[in-house]
Structure 1
Amino acid sequence: MKLRRVIAVAVAAGVLLGAGLSARAAELEGQREELLAQAGEVAAQADAAEDRTHYLSGTIALAEDQRDALQALADARPAFVDQLTALAAAFENAQGKVDVSDERVAAVSAQQTVLAERRAPETIAAATATIQALTTKVDQDVAAWDRGQVASSSATGASWAASGPDGYARVRAALDLVGGGGVGLFESSSCAGGTAPACANSDGFIKYRADVATWSEGRLNWAMAHELAHIHQFRVWGTLNDSRAYRDMFGGDPEFLANCMAVVRGYPGSVGCDPAQQAWASGIWVGAVR
């Protein structure tokens, strides 16, 4: 009887112990699942934090790039402004001497490019170089005009001889009309020993024979446009003669090229030029040899 009671107690204790273990296991499983859920939440938060970190890092890097780009632009602008100031002084010095209308158009274009640029400092550097080149060109043109005036005074003492002041005024008006305002002009019979009615000098002035003053308006305008074209050719003479396109399209003939340049300005002579030749010749008026 006593043995039965011991066995019953042992069985009851085993049942209670098994129930306790089951309850403990269930509790531990619940805790494990809770911990897994918390770990998943922490991992998600960590991933979100990492994403935010990457986003912030990218945003900061972009802002730094933009800051550096703006600083580079700011650093490049003073040199452009300095060159623009120099060009303005050159334009002022050219008044009444040299036609700078083409150079003004080019300068405005460069200025608009700089004002619109928001990223590339090299664009501003290129515009600065353009303005510097324009300043050099205008200064050289003015210097050539000054030399022409000296040559004119020493050659004749006056700008006319046989053609008289009225004849000179007519030729002068034609030269001004075709874009040669400020280019030196005087009468002379020395062009090709007197066989050429007009000629241009590499120092930047034009001579005409007395009878040119009696030519028809159309012929006179063409002649002045033609001689003015030679003045512009002289300004790029070395580059021009090195150009293969010049040799291929014009046979290296400055007279043919001058005719085409006159056509571009609206003063055709007796020699025609095709559209490609006209397009190429137009660049010489602005100092561009393609």
Structure 2
Amino acid sequence: MIRRFVSVSVAVAMMLSVGIMARANGLDAERTEAVAELTALAGTTRTALQRTDYLEGAVERAEDDTADRAAVLEVRPAFLTEITALSTALAGAKGKVDTAAHRAAALSAQQTVLDERADPDTVKNATATVHALTAKVGEEVATWQAVQLAQSAGPGGPAWSTSGPDGYARVRAALDRVGGGGVGLYESSSCAGGNAPACANSGGYIKYRGDIANWSEGRLNWAMAHELAHIYQFRVWGALNSSGAYRSMFGGDPEFLANCMAVVRGYPGSVGCNGDQQAWASGIWVGAVR
């Protein structure tokens, strides 16, 4: 009986011991899980704090960037005004002065302004550069006009009147294009009492009526080539008028010969000439009367 009681007591004790151990193990597991959760929570908290710091920094940077861009945008209109002024100056300088370097500098300044996002002083400096370019182009055009007036004025006065400097420049460019770069040119309404659009003088210069400055390029080139031909005729005038070939091939007509000489230069008018006439006329350009 006593042995049975002892056996039962031992069994109960063992069961209690196992239960206590199981409970202890369960508590350890719960503690481990709780520690893991707290660790994860702490990590999440740190991440959240880091994100908050990053966002605050990003907001500050964005505010700074916005302020910088606003400052740049504020000074851009002045740059655009100067670019417009330079474009007008360059258009007025066409055919008068070489503006390639000025255009390149303006394009560089424009790209600098387009790329700039933070520093308004960079835009201001570019604006000053373009303003200086405009002034430079204006000075060069004024110098060109003064030189043209001094070098090309004929005996009748200034180089131009009704055609203006731009009209004169267009006629001058046509004369230069056909080979008359060293020939004087000035506007006059005196050619055939104003009935002829242009005429050559034996003194070595050409006069033009103001309205031909508006002629098409092809017609204007032909007119200047025709008048330049007369200048070359004057240089061999005596031999020319003594030439039997001139009388037989051109009827002694200097206008017909001038048209044919223009054809030789590549500027045909409304009156053509055959191959033999062109070959003979080409000699006048080099001072040869065959």
TM-score by length of structure 2 reads: 0.48
Q: Tell me which structure has the larger Cα radius of gyration.
A: 2
TM-score by length of structure 1 reads: 0.48
| Higher RCO (CA < 8 A, seq sep 6+) | 1
